Amino acid sequence: MKAKQKNEPADSKLPMSAQIRREAMAWFWVGLAFLLINGAVGQARVIPSGSMEKTLLVGDHLIMSRIGYDAGVPFTNWHVPLWRNPKRQQMIIFTPPYAPGQTDLVKRVIGLPGDVLDLHGGSVWINGKKLEETYTTGPTEPAPFGQTPPGIAEVKFPYVVPAGCYFAMGDNRGNSYDSRFWGCVPREDIIGTPEMIYMSLDAGSDAWEPGQIRERFLAYGNALLHPGTVRWGRLFHTF
């Protein structure tokens, strides 16, 4: 009597073309899930400049949460603002209102809609009360005259933050191109908030500028060869 053969996997009985179609559909759904998460839940960002020092350093790699702030289609400019609004002194990620096509910026919300904001004595004053800030580097001064972008009115203080707008500044007050230069950030331009540093590399700012693919790969390769360039103490720091 012949031994009873084990059941063969159902996939092995399918023609090769059907197996390929099934595999392609599986990867399609994986890709679609990634796009939905990337567009509505979270994205990765890297810090290319020192405008947020000492809170964020050049080479910090961030995970950004979009939950409640914005939803959009990845790799397009289409997005929809959601229900959450940022709080004072919270960090936000937004598209620059003076140049929507440029790289997203990371700054800290200082003025809320309706606030009367003033700068004097190296400090920020909100509605006549000095704002306590422990995260800044250097004194807070108005932008030098004549450095606003073309077509944008100079920001004068006291400044009343318009409805639906937020006044945002970098923590490194002497090296931050922010609302002091080009005005407030419209709510619809805010896309999320930093949640965690998942990697931090001590490399020059050239490696993290948009389009610098070669320099970026060299920075990653250097980290593999020289682990000391990784700022291990900053990994998995949350905000």
The catalytic residues are 51, 107
Cα separation, 66 vs 42, whole angstroms = 5
Cα separation, 90 vs 139, whole angstroms = 19
Please name the amino acid found at residue 55: T
- In degrees and rounded to multiples of 5, residue 66 shows phi and psi of -100, 0
What is the Cβ-side half-sphere exposure of residue 175, based on CA atoms within 13 angstroms? 12
Cα separation, 237 vs 235, whole angstroms = 6
Q: b/e per residue, 140-173, with b = 16+ CB within 10 A?
A: beebeeeebeeeeeebeeebebeeebbbbbbbbb
Q: b/e per residue, 100-136, with b = 16+ CB within 10 A?
A: eeeebbbbbbbbbeebebbbeeeebbbeeeebeeeeb
Cα separation, 106 vs 50, whole angstroms = 11
- In degrees and rounded to multiples of 5, residue 76 shows phi and psi of -135, 170
